[in-house]
Amino acid sequence: MPFQFNLKKQDMGTSARLGEMVTPHGIVHTPAFMPVGTQGTVKSMLPEEIRNCGAEIILSNTYHLYLRPGHETVKKLGGLHKFMHWPGPILTDSGGFQVYSLGALRKITPDGVMFRSHIDGSRHFLTPQQAIEIQEALGADIMMCLDECTPYPATPSQTEKSLNLTAKWAQQCKNAKTNSEQALFGIVQGGSYLDLRQQSLDQIAPLNFDGYALGGVSVGEPKDIMYKITESITPLLPGHKPRYLMGVGTPEDIVFAVSCGIDMFDCVIPTRCARHGLLFTNSENVVIKNARWREDNNPIDENCDCYTCKNYSRAYLRHLYFAGEILAMVLNTIHNIRHYMRLMEDIRTAISENRLGEFKKSFNK
Q: Could you give the residue numbers annotated as active site?
A: 93, 266
Q: What is the DSSP letter of 272?
A: H
d(CA 81, CA 180): 18
d(CA 343, CA 10): 18
Q: Is-contact 234 246, C-beta < 8 A?
A: no
Half-sphere exposure of 158 (CA within 13 A, CB side): 10
Residue length of the chain = 365
Max CA distance (Å), the chain: 61
Buried b (16+ CB within 10 A) or exposed e, 353-364: eebbeebbeebe
Kindly tell me the sign of the dihedral angle through the C-alpha atoms of 173, 39, 289, 52.
positive
Burial class, 145, CB count within 10 angstroms (exposed 0-12 / middle 13-18 / buried 19+): buried
d(CA 176, CA 259): 35
Crossing angle for the helix pair 356-363 and 326-352, to the nearest 10 degrees: 140
Burial class, 131, CB count within 10 angstroms (exposed 0-12 / middle 13-18 / buried 19+): buried
Other beta carbons less than 10 A from residue 105's beta carbon: 14
Q: Is-contact 195 155, C-beta < 8 A?
A: no
- The three-state secondary structure class of 127 is coil
Q: Is-contact 34 264, C-beta < 8 A?
A: yes
Phi-psi region of 184 (alpha: psi -120 to 50; beta: other; left: phi over 0): beta
